[in-house]
Structure 1
Amino acid sequence: MSDELAGKVAVITGGASGLGEGLVRRFVAEGARVVFGDVDAEGGKALAEELGSAARFLVSDVTDLSQVAALVDTAVGDFGGLHVMVNNAGVSGTMHRRFLDDDLADFDSVLRVNLRAVMAGTRDAARHMADHGGGSIINLTSIGGIQAGGGVQTYRASKAAVIQFTKSVAIELAHYEIRVNAIAPGNIRTAIVRKSAAAEDRERLEEFEAKIRAQMRNDRPLKREGTVDDVAEAALYFATDKSRYVTGTILPIDGGTVAGKVIPRKS
C-alpha cells in the first residue's frame, strides 16, 4: 500500500461486510482514519478491533437518519474532520419470478436504505465539507440502475435514482469544491444475490445463485470474476486528489457488462 489517504478521515456506511468491509480495509491500509457503521454489530465490532485505532465502529441503521448524522459527527469529533464520505449501505429487495407477482411490500424499506440514506449521508457530509475546503462523496449504485432488465424492479429503480441524484447534487456542491461521484458495481460476488432470493427459492438457493452467476458471466465481456478489491480500487481513486477534476461521474465496475452484448468469437 502507498498511504494515498494519509491524513484523511472517511465515513463508510454498511462497512461490516461485503463491499463495505473491503472499502474499510482498503482505506485504513492506505492511511485513512475511518468511521464505519452497520446494523451487524458483531461483525462491525470484530472488524474495528482487528483494524485498531484507525477505525471506529458504530452500530448504525441508515433508515434512521439521526444515525447517519452520528457517523459524520463521530468522524469530526473523534478524528477532527471529514474528507471522504462513502454511502455504501444497500439492500437488494426480493426477486420475484414475475413483476406481476410483486406486491411491492419492500418498496419503502428498499428506498429508505438505497436512496434516502444516500441523500442524507451526502447532505450531512457536505454540510461539514462546505465549511472546510471541500471533499469527496462516493455513492454506491449498481449496473442495475444503468441497464434495464428483469427482476428486483424496486432495487433497479432505487439505484437509478442514486445515479440521477449523484449527477444533480454534484452540480450544486461543486461550488464548495465538493466532488460527488458514483460507483456502479456489477457481477461482484457478495451475499446480495442470495439475499434477493424469494422465499420459494430458498430450498434451491445454490441452484438459484449458480444460474444468476452463469447469466452474469455470459453477459460479461471480461470473463474473470470481479472482486471487492476492484470496487475498493475505484473508490480509492475517487477519494484521492487523482480525481480532483472529476465530479458527477458514474463509473461501472462490471467487466464491460453495460458496454454492450458479448460478440461471439469466430472460430
Structure 2
Amino acid sequence: MSDELAGKVAVITGGASGLGEGLVRRFAAEGAQVVFGDVDAERGKAVAEELGSAARFLPCDVTDLSQITALVGTAVGEFGGLHAMVNNAGISGTMHRRFLDDDLADFDAVLRINLRAVMAGTRDAGRHMAENGGGSILNLTSIGGIQAGAGVQTYRASKAAVIQFTKSVAIELAHHEIRVNAIAPGNIRTSIVRKSAAGEDRERLEAFEAKIRTQMRDDRPLKREGTVDDVAEAALYFATDRSRYVTGTVLPVDGGTVAGKVIVRRS
C-alpha cells in the first residue's frame, strides 16, 4: 500500500460486507479515516474493531435519509472533513422466471436503496464539499444498468437511473470542484446473485448460482473472474488526485463484458 489517501476522510455506505467491505478495507489501508454504515450492525462493528482507529462504524439504513446525513456529519464532526463519498449500498430485488410474473412488490424498496439513497448521499456530501474546496463522489451502479438483459428488471432500471443521475449531477457540481463518477461492476463474486433468488431451496439455489456464474464466464472476454479488490482499486483511483480531471464518467469493472459478445473461433 502507498498511503494514497493519507490525511483524507471517506464515507462509505453498505460497508459491512461484499464490495463495500472491500472498499472500507482498501481505503483504510491507504491511510484514510473511514466512516461507514450498514444495516448489518454486528458485521459492521466487527470490521471496525479489526481496523481500529482507521474506521468508525455507524448502523445505517439508507432508506432513512437522516441516517445518511448522520454518516456525513460524523465524518465532518469527528475527523474534520470529508474528501470522498462512496454511495455503495444496494440490493438486487427478487428474480422472477418471467417479467410477466413480477408483482413489482419490491419496486419501492429497490428504488429507495439503489437510487434515492445515492441521490441523498451525493447531496449531503456535496453540501459539505461545496463549501470546503471540493472532493470526490463515487456512485456504485452495475453493468446491469448499461447492458440490457432479462431478469431483475427493477434492479436494472435503478442502476441505469444511477448512471443518468451521476452524469447529470457531475455537470452541476463541477463548478464546486466536486467530481462525481460511477463504477459499474460486473461478474464480481459477491452474495448479490444468491440474494436475488431468495426463497429457493438450497439445492436449487446452488444450481441457479452455478448457472449464472457459468453464463457470466461465457460472456466475459477476460476469463479471470473479477474480485472485490478489482473494484476497490478502481474506487481508489476516483478517490485520489489521480482522477482530478475526471468527472461524469462510468467505468465498467467487468472483464470486458459490456464491450461486446465473445467471438468463438473455430480451429
- Does the alignment reach a TM-score above 0.5? yes
**DSSP 3-state at the match of 1:3:** coil
Aligned to 2:141: 141
Aligned to 2:117: 117
**DSSP 3-state at the match of 1:94:** coil
- Superposed CA deviations along residues 33-87 of structure 1, whole A, max 9, x for unmatched, are 0000000010000000000011000000000000000000000001000000000
CA distance in 2, matches of 1:202, 1:176: 50
Contact 1:96 1:198 in 2 (8 A): no
Once the two structures are TM-superposed, the CA of residue 264 in structure 1 deviates from its matched residue by 1.1
**DSSP 3-state at the match of 2:36:** strand
Structure-2 change in CA distance of 1:201 and 1:146 (3 Å) = farther
Matching residue's letter, 1:215 = Q
2:235 maps to 1:263: no
CA distance in 2, matches of 1:50, 1:197: 31
**DSSP 3-state at the match of 2:154:** helix
**DSSP 3-state at the match of 1:199:** coil
Give RMSD over aligned pairs.
Answer: 0.8
Report 1:71-150 matches (<5 A).
Answer: 71-150=71-150
2:50 maps to 1:50: yes
Aligned to 1:208: 208
Aligned to 1:247: 247
Contact 1:37 1:44 in 2 (8 A): yes
2:40 maps to 1:40: yes
In structure 1, list runs of 5 or more residues that go unmatched: none
Q: Number of paired residues?
A: 267
CA distance in 1, matches of 2:198, 2:24: 30
CA distance in 2, matches of 1:200, 1:16: 25
CA distance in 1, matches of 2:195, 2:212: 13
Matching residue's letter, 2:91 = V
Aligned to 1:237: 237
2:38 maps to 1:26: no
TM normalised by structure 1 equals 0.99
CA distance in 2, matches of 1:26, 1:18: 13
CA distance in 2, matches of 1:214, 1:199: 22
In structure 2, list runs of 5 or more residues that go unmatched: none
CA distance in 1, matches of 2:13, 2:174: 23
Contact 1:85 1:125 in 2 (8 A): yes
Aligned to 2:158: 158
Q: Which 4+ runs in 1 deviate beyond 2 A?
A: 198-203
CA distance in 2, matches of 1:12, 1:128: 15
* Identical-pair percentage: 89
Structure-2 change in CA distance of 1:83 and 1:232 (3 Å) = same
Once the two structures are TM-superposed, the CA of residue 200 in structure 1 deviates from its matched residue by 4.1
- Superposed CA deviations along residues 138-180 of structure 1, whole A, max 9, x for unmatched, are 0000000000000000000000000000000000000100000
